[in-house]
């Protein structure tokens, strides 16, 4: 089974086995301005103060200053698929995508510059893997004669990380980042395929490999990272992988859901935590991840993204145009609608109560009743 396949649909869940001759060019070619960008694949949307910023294929980044009614195209230095975007403040934000690209904006998403790509990640991974392996070997030597299973597992993981790093140095750009999150303008994380976990504490001036802190011995893909409350973060991945940090991402522990399907989205509000994934599976925790309940929903559509509306209310979207509204305070917990057409990657609810859904058909705008609302592309100078 192709490890990124999801019903053969979204490109964010597929990656070539190796770098093609054309991929390096896409990291050097600027995105092209075109009104069709509004209707091309869009994979994420975020707030930059009062501005909305959306990212997608061909390096397309669009921004809106009127709650999603009209959109302008940003200046972007690459044409690779962009998978996620986050602004910890009104002006400074980061976007990530295929070929391990990380982009940075300091003008609320109007212009972007490249901080990192797959031509550099191999060397960073190699340095991190060598340091990790040396530390584990030193610990084993210090505890010579002891049968420490945890250390032996770490040794296997460090050796595997070294192999992966050497491969990345050899083949160049071949893995995507799939999510990005910043606690503030200095401290952030970019996560993705095969345990990609990159860390910065200086606003992306330098990035380093943080994968040694992740309990992910099978090197599973990491899909989604989100804060729950205070310093508590959750991170979800394939095959039911769910990780928690209580110290802002410095250390991580595994959580058990009793579910082995991939989890594509983590969200939360006021201490309530949600995860969603394959075949309409949604889980909720009211205690920061200590315990979880499975939310029974009348859908088997895989849910790729969503957002919490309050502590006990959330909305998720996914394949086949699925939109699932979950309210744990209501008698009927879930309200499901499905268009059977274009799939959605995620959504954003504006301060005016309208919903902006992004996915295969680009950006769609709907009112509280689900009716379509107009949207337009602004040319340069409009």
Model confidence pLDDT, tens digit, residues 125-139 = 999 999 989 988 888
Residue 196 scores a pLDDT above 60: yes
Residue 39 scores a pLDDT above 70: yes
**Whole-number pLDDT of residue 82:** 98
Q: Which two tokens stand for residue 222?
A: 């990491």
Model-wide pTM > 0.85: yes
Most confident of 22-36, 148-162, 197-211, 336-350: 197-211
pLDDT digits (tens, 9 = 90+) for 59-113: 999 999 999 999 999 999 999 999 999 999 999 999 999 999 999 999 999 999 9
**Whole-number pLDDT of residue 5:** 37
**Whole-number pLDDT of residue 137:** 87
Most confident of 141-150, 160-169, 297-306: 297-306
Confidence of residue 263 (pLDDT cuts 50, 70, 90): very high
Q: Domain segments of the chain: what residues?
A: 118-172
**Cα-Cα end-to-end distance for the chain:** 48
**Whole-number pLDDT of residue 60:** 98
Confidence of residue 145 (pLDDT cuts 50, 70, 90): low
């Amino acid at each position: 089974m192709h490890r990124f396949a999801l019903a053969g649909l979204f490109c964010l869940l597929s990656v070539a086995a190796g770098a093609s001759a054309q991929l390096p060019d896409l990291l050097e070619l600027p995105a092209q301005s075109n009104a069709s960008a509004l209707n091309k694949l869009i994979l994420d949307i975020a707030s930059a103060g009062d501005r909305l910023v959306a990212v997608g294929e061909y390096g397309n980044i669009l921004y809106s200053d009127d709650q999603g009614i009209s959109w302008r195209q940003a200046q972007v230095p690459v044409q690779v698929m962009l998978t996620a975007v986050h602004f910890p403040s009104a002006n400074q934000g980061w976007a990530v995508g295929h070929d391990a690209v990380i982009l940075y904006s300091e003008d609320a998403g109007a212009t972007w510059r490249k901080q990192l790509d797959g031509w550099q990640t191999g060397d960073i991974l190699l340095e991190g893997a060598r340091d990790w392996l040396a530390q584990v070997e030193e610990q084993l030597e210090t505890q010579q004669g002891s049968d420490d299973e945890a250390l032996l597992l770490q040794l296997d993981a460090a050796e595997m990380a070294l192999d992966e790093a050497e491969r990345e140095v050899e083949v160049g750009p071949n893995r995507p980042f799939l999510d990005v999150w910043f606690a503030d303008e200095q401290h952030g994380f970019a996560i993705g395929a095969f345990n990609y976990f990159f860390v910065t504490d200086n606003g992306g001036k330098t990035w380093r490999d943080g994968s040694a802190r992740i309990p992910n011995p099978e090197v599973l893909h990491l899909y989604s990272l989100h804060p729950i409350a205070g310093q508590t973060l959750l991170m979800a991945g394939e095959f039911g992988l769910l990780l928690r940090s209580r110290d802002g991402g410095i250390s991580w522990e595994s959580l058990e859901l009793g579910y082995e399907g991939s989890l594509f989205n983590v969200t939360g509000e006021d201490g309530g935590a949600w995860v969603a994934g394959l075949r309409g599976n949604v889980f909720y925790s009211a205690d920061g991840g200590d315990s979880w309940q499975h939310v029974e929903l009348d859908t088997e559509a895989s849910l790729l993204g969503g957002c919490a509306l309050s502590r006990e209310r959330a909305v998720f979207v996914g394949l086949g145009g699925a939109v699932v509204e979950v309210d744990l305070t209501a008698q009927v917990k879930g309200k499901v609608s499905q268009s059977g057409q274009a799939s959605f990657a995620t959504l954003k609810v504006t301060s005016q109560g309208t919903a902006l859904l992004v996915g295969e058909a680009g950006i769609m705008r709907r009112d509280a009743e689900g009716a379509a609302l107009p949207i337009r592309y602004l040319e340069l100078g409009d």
